[in-house]
Amino acid sequence: MLNIGIIGAGRIGKVHLESISYRVKDATVKAVADPFMNDETKAFIEGFGVKEIYTDYHKILEDPAIDAVLICSSTDTHSAISVEAINAGKHVFCEKPVDHSIEKINNVKKALEGKSLKFQVGFNRRFDHNFAAVRAAVEAGKIGETHIVKITSRDPEPPNPAYIKVSGGIFLDMTIHDFDMVRFLSGSEVEEIYVNSAVLVDPAIGEQGDVDTAIITMKLANGALAVIDNSRRAAYGYDQRAEVFGSKGMVATANDTLSTAVFSGADGVIGEKPLFFFLERYMESFSAEMRDFVDSVENDKPVKVGIEAGLQSVLIGLAAKKSVEEHRPVKLSELL
């Protein structure tokens, strides 16, 4: 049984606590730490049978009975806590992004050198049943040589503009998942990126120096092209679709809905809207990624989403920001 400590008891920390408790065998949450622990959060954690609840995460790192830690704290703490956890001999699951700084991500890579510890980055969409099926079709050669990757990712509502200050902006908090999907679905690396963007949803987002709508084009190392379209608000719900087109055909996935029931009547044909947001849409993928992490630790298997995936996604995000700022295509090599 793998003993896990969770650092950070916000929304995603609670998701993982629930997921491990109900859907992940061979693992248990031994302790949870959060500097902003309050009575409500403590009661929630205790509801899952966790008795060790701290405000200081170092108590988790100092506990020899804890085998692995989940870093679910604020983004600006991810890389520093990762290094501390690695130095404490803990396996690490780190929520994305590892950091907004390439230098700090490389510090995590250096800390891992020469160690047999597992380090997995939380790109849960790789474990989603739809996207995994698309990747399987591409990997099996069913579409032939990949020519075009298309991803649509639109949130049902924009975040509080204050969130932009700490999130790194749309490319590092939202599109970062789509950048990882391009790499995952294509099996190739992004070499160049160009962004057309605008503020069409909330002027307050623009006032924070960010954008809320974007069309992103990329050139990949295997010669394929990729396109991502993003919006911070889709009136009909959480829009998550992908398509890979190639020399032999195409594989695509549609949105998940509450049901596949469709009503047909005199006034038209009506179906369900997409599931509302990421907790509804991707809950099972959070469980699947955690099961995979536990399996990697217990059976000494390579993690499927390692530190390099964390590095590349941030590199692409920073290149996207540079493209917006300088109104030109940006090669990722410029940032290295």
| DSSP bridge partners of 213 | 198, 231
CB 6 within 8 A of CB 70: yes
Q: What is the pTM of this model?
A: 0.94
Q: Are residues 268 and 145 in the same domain?
A: yes
CATH number at residue 225: 3.30.360.10
| Pair of tokens at residue 49 | 């049978």
Q: Are residues 50 and 133 in the same domain?
A: no
**pLDDT (0 to 100) of residue 253:** 96
| Pair of tokens at residue 289 | 């990624």
* DSSP code string of 117-163: --EEEE-GGGGSHHHHHHHHHHHTTTT-SEEEEEEEEE-SSPPPHHH
**pLDDT (0 to 100) of residue 280:** 82
CATH number at residue 73: 3.40.50.720
Sort strands 250-253 and 68-71 into parallel, antiparallel or unpaired: unpaired
The verdict on residue 48 lying in a domain is yes
Q: Are residues 182 and 319 in the same domain?
A: yes
Q: Are residues 113 and 226 in the same domain?
A: no
Q: Are residues 234 and 211 in the same domain?
A: yes
| DSSP bridge partners of 219 | 192, 225
The verdict on residue 134 lying in a domain is yes
The verdict on residue 287 lying in a domain is no
Q: Are residues 110 and 130 in the same domain?
A: no
Q: Are residues 232 and 210 in the same domain?
A: yes
The verdict on residue 110 lying in a domain is yes
Q: Each residue's pLDDT tens digit in the chain (336 positions)? A: 999 999 999 999 999 999 999 999 999 999 999 999 999 999 999 999 999 999 999 999 999 999 999 999 999 999 999 999 999 999 999 999 999 999 999 999 999 999 999 999 999 999 999 999 999 999 999 999 999 999 999 999 999 998 888 899 999 999 999 999 999 999 999 999 999 999 999 999 999 999 999 999 999 999 999 999 999 999 999 999 999 999 999 999 999 999 889 999 999 999 999 988 887 888 899 999 999 999 999 999 999 999 999 999 999 999 999 999 999 999 999 998
The verdict on residue 308 lying in a domain is no
Last residue of a domain, one of 117, 137, 159: 117
Q: What is the dihedral of CA 217, 199, 155, 215, to 10 degrees?
A: -10
Q: Taking the CA atoms of the chain, what radius of gyration do you get in angstroms?
A: 20
Domain that holds residue 200: 126-281+313-335
Last residue of a domain, one of 94, 117, 140: 117
Last residue of a domain, one of 117, 144, 165: 117
Residue type, 171: F
Q: Are residues 239 and 318 in the same domain?
A: yes
Q: Are residues 261 and 137 in the same domain?
A: yes
The verdict on residue 299 lying in a domain is no
The verdict on residue 270 lying in a domain is yes
Q: Are residues 132 and 239 in the same domain?
A: yes
CB 222 within 8 A of CB 203: no
Q: Are residues 185 and 324 in the same domain?
A: yes
Domain count, the chain: 2
Q: Are residues 107 and 229 in the same domain?
A: no
**pLDDT (0 to 100) of residue 281:** 81
CB 5 within 8 A of CB 31: yes
The verdict on residue 173 lying in a domain is yes
Q: What is the rounded CA–CA span in Å between residue 83 and residue 246?
A: 41
Burial of 260-274, coded b for 16+ CB within 10 Å and e otherwise, reads eeeeeeeeeeeeebb
Q: What is the dihedral of CA 230, 236, 242, 248, to 10 degrees?
A: -130
